[in-house]
Structure 1
């Protein structure tokens, strides 16, 4: 099975007010120290497992913004079936919800 990330959108995740990434065959992520490069990997593992990259519990909301709602969605392509997975995770205060949706799609439309 081959999983290919296609797109990710963040809102109020760690130090990102908003961020949208379109992944290609090779995606180069660069920036100054503290810009949030590692947060991109944390966002993926938080969506799937509720932890950071190292497996530790993760509090995704921005520091000092107690009322901020964190939103994260991504889509990926699975090469064994002709569908893609769209996931959305939201956190507001202490309530977290995750939704996964499977969509049929022709592989030629990617």
Structure 2
């Protein structure tokens, strides 16, 4: 079971390994390094829906990531719950969903 250990400025710790990048973290342990992002778009939500996500947790260190209204509407229409959280709460929330065997994806922005 994958767990986020900590998220801080410029880095994410997952299962004891440090990543110096924004990333997508999947319920099954897959990790995808991604370019810095500040906005979650409809194409992001559609990609995650296609991957099987039932929950998206958007996590940022400084609270500076937004989701486009149209992306939120797509998530809602597909039955995907979306949470936008700071680093500490977001990590706890992601870990709790994984522990409950939910298909959750964290979009983690580190700066």
Output the TM-score relative to the length of structure 2: 0.29
Greater share of helix residues, 1 or 2?
A: 2
Output the TM-score relative to the length of structure 1: 0.29
For the pair shown, the structure with the greater C-alpha radius of gyration is: 1
